[in-house]
Chains A and B, each alone.
Chain A
């Protein structure tokens, strides 16, 4: 694993992840869904490459951010999107 760890906030809770980690991977580590579907189901990343859009979440206040194509930055705040 890379030496450097950084801290991000998933639904308000801090979590330490390796530098360079994609945000969708960090959400999985935190057992947090990326989004809640139109009928209320929790969803996590499916395709892993920014095509299916199941990975979208609220990142630093910006909704619909594709977490599979976003690299974690120190202090980043991500929330499950509903």
Chain B
């Protein structure tokens, strides 16, 4: 057993802010993350540009280290053996962590919507391709279509272009009209406005086509072209890669396993970022898709609340309220048009782990029925990808979350220290 007063799960912007705040206020803090380094997704370190640090990331990580909080990377939470412990897997062995206060900052993942060709090599998530490029995949000279929806598309396109990629087009499914109130509201957030303007500048003459979405990708062993439409006209562009994501969905599996209730798709929290389960706090994207600024302020509030700071600084509460309003406009601006939910053909694979097609799923009545009859959602990702897709396509609600939260080696079940071999294991 390794004691830690406050345990934070996830070392992204929310987790780093939470840990820093709790540590500065006298708590012993440890942060677990499944990645090899701190930063989460948005602040993922770029191995090709080690000296070109994002200023906000550098400041957050420096503050974190100065605070004395400990970072334990490469650890993935797989189970909740008792109400106040978590079981983590790290490189094939297991560790148990005890906590007095737990802060969940597990971030979000991209939503993927199936369309013919989306399983071809050469098709990536938008953030997915960005992560791979930061991990060393060179894209100089490659022709890339960036498509889907959300503010991430512009950021990813600008980033890829900086690396020498030729961006064929950025296809945003939301219409200009739908995005107008969001764009106008950016005038009230000069930081975000400048960031957007910066991306646009980087992109130069690259077309940013609104009300435009991909309907298929073509290729034999790998992607060769993408067919796009604006609902009136359909055209095909040749390309090497497609970076396509339809905004974000929250990672709430651990919160659910801990018994935290959801409100819609998100973890329910009060004004202190506390969930209905005593001692468990949640901040950042799992409580609502709102971006890095919201994640940092919510994380700081959660860290202060977990350290029993009372009252919470009003400036933080005001900033959180402002970011919450931004989140609502974001959700509205990038809501999915009905057409993008009808892209799959009978043969299109929806569940990539088990190769279950849209045709096989069409006749099923709900998530459990689909799982039982087709194995949809029963592969290694445990429905994290196809669950969000079938929710969007069919309105199916994924059922209960069970341990282990991620696939682990069978050896784990033989490990005496593991809770997963107990007779009562779920």
A→B interface (CB under 8 Å): 1-2, 17-22, 24-26, 28-29, 33, 37-39, 41-54, 56, 62, 64, 68-69, 71
Contacts and interface: CB of A to CB of B under 8 A. Distances in A.
B127 A48 contact: yes
A47 B110 contact: yes
Q: What's the dominant secondary structure at chain B's contact region?
A: loop
Given A20-B136, A69-B36, A46 B355 contact: no
Given A2-B47, A17-B136, A20-B47, A53 B129 contact: no
User: Which range holds the interface residue count of chain B?
Assistant: 35 or more
Interface stretch (B286-294, B300-308, B316-324, B376-384): B376-384
Contact of A18 (B47, B125, B349): B47
A73 B109 CA distance: 27
A45 B132 contact: yes
Given A25-B136, A28-B132, A47 B385 contact: yes
A29 B142 CA distance: 13
Given A2-B50, A22-B132, A43 B119 contact: yes
A11 to B, nearest CB: 15
B137 interface: yes
A45 B407 CA distance: 17
Given A2-B47, A37-B352, A64-B407, A28 B34 contact: no
A44 to B, nearest CB: 4
7 contacts: A17-B136, A37-B355, A47-B112, A48-B131, A51-B385, A54-B352, A69-B34
A50 B352 contact: no
Given A43-B352, A46-B385, A1 B135 contact: no
Interface string B324-351: 0000000000000000000000000100
B131 A26 contact: no
Nearest to B126: A48
A72 to B, nearest CB: 8
A18 to B, nearest CB: 5
B270 interface: no
Nearest to A19: B47
A44 B135 contact: no
A53 B136 contact: no
B125 A47 contact: yes
A26 B136 contact: yes
Nearest to A34: B121
A64 B76 CA distance: 15
Contacts of A22: 47, 132, 135-136
B167 to A, nearest CB: 18
A33 to B, nearest CB: 6
Given A45-B128, A47-B110, A50-B35, A24 B385 contact: no
A43 to B, nearest CB: 7
A62 B410 CA distance: 12
B137 A25 contact: yes
